[in-house]
């Protein structure tokens, strides 16, 4: 299996984990859990899960020298901010409208990459990013009212910009640290900043057993998903990874249909197909840029036997 194929496989697993987390967050919003407390405890659980994986796999607990502070700060000021903004935006608009605005980040990643000459322009790259946004829009907007207050618009777009920044700067700030170690300290960075703010704002309160269970489970999913995202970033690059991550919208919709009884409409199915098409186009474009030959089943079988 090539590095690109491995990145796609891990990416799909990551999408499933993050999609499930969206469903769990919807429950926390309905329960009235405040943003900083919800995000803080979720990422504290995520960091603990990642740390356990680091210990089990016998890796160094700390990031590489020179990357320890950047890992924590990246979590505290970038990834944490996007999580809080997205969660907060749900209080000022429908899930459909917030998600629609948030999933503009593949376009932001592509435009910034082109502006700084991090990626060459191609119709495949532009088409995949545009198609992913159209697909996400269809998935989240079909059959639902797209209504949002101005502050919700600002929060959702701000969250999208934070994700774009994170995807673009991560490999420069933490290039040597193993993926799961980086995920651990980014998660702890998110937890530290948000829980401190939750304490200052008086958001820490007694939660029900069910709420704690949701926080722990969503944290575990977030930790595993964050680790997978780092591996995916290393294998695919920022632009293809951002397109693949947009598929979590489909997972969230399907999960809502199964666990919350919400219907899956024709427009949502078409939107999901558009996102899958965007992923395929992005993968083709990335492979052409790197000059990597397509996988051959015979070669993969031989390599597997050797291992």
Q: Which of 130-144, 178-192, 220-234, 265-279 has maximum average pLDDT?
A: 178-192
Give dist(CA 225, CA 13) in Å, integer: 8
Whether the Cβ atoms of residue 71 and residue 174 lie closer than 8 Å to each other: yes
Whether the Cβ atoms of residue 232 and residue 11 lie closer than 8 Å to each other: yes
pTM above 0.85, yes or no: no
* Residue among 292, 32, 74, 282 at smallest CA distance from 168: 74
254-269 mean pLDDT: 76
| pLDDT tens sequence across 114-131 | 788 777 778 887 888 888
Give dist(CA 167, CA 154) in Å, integer: 20
β strands within the chain, DSSP E: none
| pLDDT tens sequence across 268-300 | 788 878 887 887 787 677 666 655 444 433 333
11-17 mean pLDDT: 92
Whether the Cβ atoms of residue 76 and residue 195 lie closer than 8 Å to each other: no
Give dist(CA 307, CA 301) in Å, integer: 10
- Place 218 in a pLDDT band, splitting at 50, 70 and 90: very high
**Beta partners for residue 93, in sequence order:** 148
Is residue 55 over pLDDT 90? yes
Domain boundaries, the chain: 3-306
- Place 136 in a pLDDT band, splitting at 50, 70 and 90: confident
* Residue among 152, 186, 184 at smallest CA distance from 77: 186
């Amino acid at each position: 299996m090539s590095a690109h194929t491995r990145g796609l496989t891990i990416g799909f697993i990551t999408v499933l984990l993050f999609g499930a987390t969206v469903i769990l967050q919807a429950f926390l919003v309905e329960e009235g859990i405040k943003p900083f407390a919800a995000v803080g405890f979720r990422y504290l659980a995520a960091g603990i899960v990642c740390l356990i994986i680091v210990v089990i796999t016998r890796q160094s607990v700390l990031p590489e020298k020179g990357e320890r502070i950047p890992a924590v700060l990246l979590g505290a000021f970038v990834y944490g901010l996007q999580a809080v903004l997205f969660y907060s935006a749900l209080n000022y608009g429908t899930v459909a409208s917030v998600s629609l605005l948030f999933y503009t980040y593949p376009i932001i990643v592509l435009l910034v990459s082109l502006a700084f000459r991090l990626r060459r322009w191609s119709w495949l790259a532009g088409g995949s990013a545009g198609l992913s946004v159209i697909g996400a829009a269809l998935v989240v907007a079909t059959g639902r009212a797209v209504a949002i207050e101005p502050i919700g618009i600002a929060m959702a777009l701000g969250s999208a910009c934070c994700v774009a920044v994170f995807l673009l700067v991560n490999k420069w700030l933490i290039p040597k640290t193993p993926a799961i170690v980086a995920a651990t300290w980014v998660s702890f960075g998110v937890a530290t900043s948000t829980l401190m703010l939750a304490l200052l704002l008086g958001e820490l309160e007694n939660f029900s057993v069910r709420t704690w269970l949701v926080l722990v489970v969503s944290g575990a999913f977030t930790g595993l998903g964050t680790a997978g995202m780092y591996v995916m970033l290393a294998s695919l690059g920022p632009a293809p990874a951002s397109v693949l991550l947009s598929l979590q919208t489909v997972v969230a919709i399907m999960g809502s249909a199964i666990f919350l009884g919400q219907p899956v409409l024709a427009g949502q199915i078409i939107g999901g197909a558009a996102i899958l098409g965007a992923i395929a186009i992005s993968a083709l474009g990335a492979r052409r840029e790197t000059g990597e030959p397509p996988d051959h089943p015979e070669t993969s079988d031989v390599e597997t036997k050797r291992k």
